[in-house]
Structure 1
Amino acid sequence: MGPATEALAVSRDPYRLHTDITPGVGLPVLLLHGFPDSSRLHDRLLPRLEGRMPAVRFDFLGWGKSGKPRGCACTAANQMGGLVAVADAVSARLDARRLVLVGHSYGGSMITNAATGNSNVRSLVYIAGFAPEKGESAAELLAKFPGSRLADAFNAVPIPKDQGAVDLYVKPDRFRDVFLSNRLSTAEAAVAAASQRPATPATSNERSGAPAWKTIPSWFLVSTDDRAIGTANLRFMAERARARTVEADAPHAACLTAPNAVTDLILDAAGTRSLAHTGSSARTAAAMSGAAAAIGLGTALLWSARGRRQSSRA
């Protein structure tokens, strides 16, 4: 049996995401996956967070054009509108004004932009996630240091009735190596690969705005066997952000292979635990509480984007 969850009805962009709420006490944490992951990435976290803190996860149907009905233009940045609407609804329902944002993979880019200028975000947690500087793209960060195996790992699938447009999926025979570092069984990897949420080629080239990690405390999990973003690239971003950093013997999908470490780090970011070491150079042994801090960090960034985006559209 999984944790008790409650569906939250969202009137805005219901075709693009759904949410679950896990009951608990303390600060709520919002969990955001990247691409090509889905919210199944959090399946092993929710039972560990239940009763300890309210946890909300988002499941995007896709990043980019595929996240909207076919034929509707939508960049990754525009996805934030639907996500922030959900985050606001969740915050009101939980009667909490302080939140922790957790972002995995590309979810880190989203929280980096979403939380800028929002004083209600307590902390940012990056779980093997992107933490770009202003003007940087995910593609540039992937190429900074060796280690990423994504370059030739994607299949481009044409979108019907949308000439020239494609969805990107990681090839099924590459998913276990690139995202899981062969840490899960072939059968488990096949399930994860089948639940992918696609992206478009433009997604990884989108340039970041002013980063929230310059003003909001951040936590970072560095996976020491990351073959998607690359371990060296993760270390670079964690150190630049001056994040409270831990390292875990885990693949890119650390939430699936090191859920206890991820949970502990989220609790650290929420202020319910204390880290033995802080600062950009702090590192712990494998399977320590680093993953949790990274997740909490990513979720916090997303919630804060609403005010900034509304003012920019005014």
Structure 2
Amino acid sequence: MRLDKFLSQSFIELSRSRIKSLILSGHVTCGSKILSDPSRNVKIGERFSIMIPALKSPTPIGQKMDLEVVYEDNDLIVINKPAGLVVHPAAGNKDMTLVNALISHCGGSLSGIGGVARPGIVHRLDKDTSGLLVAAKNDFTHRGLAEQFADHSLDRAYKAIVWGVPKQKEGTIENKIGRSSRNRKKMAVVTRGGKHAITHYRVKKPIGDGGKYWASLVECRLETGRTHQIRVHMTSIGNAIIGDPTYGAKDQKKIIKTGSAYFQTVISSMNRQALHAYLIGFDHPFSGKRINFKSDLPNDMKEFISI
């Protein structure tokens, strides 16, 4: 068997092309011998080592973009992020992110605690989640905000449109969240491992037509901030967020068939998860004053709840 094929089967987290590149660049050894031929045949009893070089994060550049600035002072800035905007550069999104826009808007006055690729970033919102996000302009502010995230003294609330109407109109979901054992790209409620997560929810408005309710507007308040927390928790009680391609696809296929033609039209126009971070409140790290901000629902969600 070829060396690159053998190693790609042994190290499933690395693609065959990545393995080949590592061999050609001299990062694969057999004993003390550096290997450089991906097509070399593997022999029984041989042991191989792969040295994966540390990735170098490119320094993002400023790119002028329209930003909806809700509040700004010398220490921090609060942005109303639109759906579709990635927060910081990553694989597949090297530029035109919120970080690029912040660098253009704030210049060099952003905290460096988050690293070269994430200046000013204290917390994140998923690409297709809209709403309020606070960024720090200096390290003191960054630490102060991060401490409030850690001790849960910072207020965060979201509005979501979910499939169906939760059986309990108000409740608390307290389940651990970790990587799905079936799909490592997804998060899930888990019984072993995972991180403690608490979401408080309240039904604000049932949504439907013809006397039937197909969906509902729900307010969610976070005590913890785990990856995809609201999306996973609402799915766990049978009320996935509408438009969520990762966690709500099955519900969408099932319910969309039973709704009216108008309902189906509105559903099809929702091309992202209907989740909006509408409230954030925290103590200003310098003044100590409590400041709170709210954001109206974006137009796509407004149209949906007007059914």
The normalised TM-score by structure 1 is 0.25
Question: For the pair shown, which has the larger CA radius of gyration, 1 or 2?
Answer: 2
Structure with a larger share of its residues in strand: 2
Greater relative contact order, per chain length (Cα 8 Å cut-off, separation 6+): 1
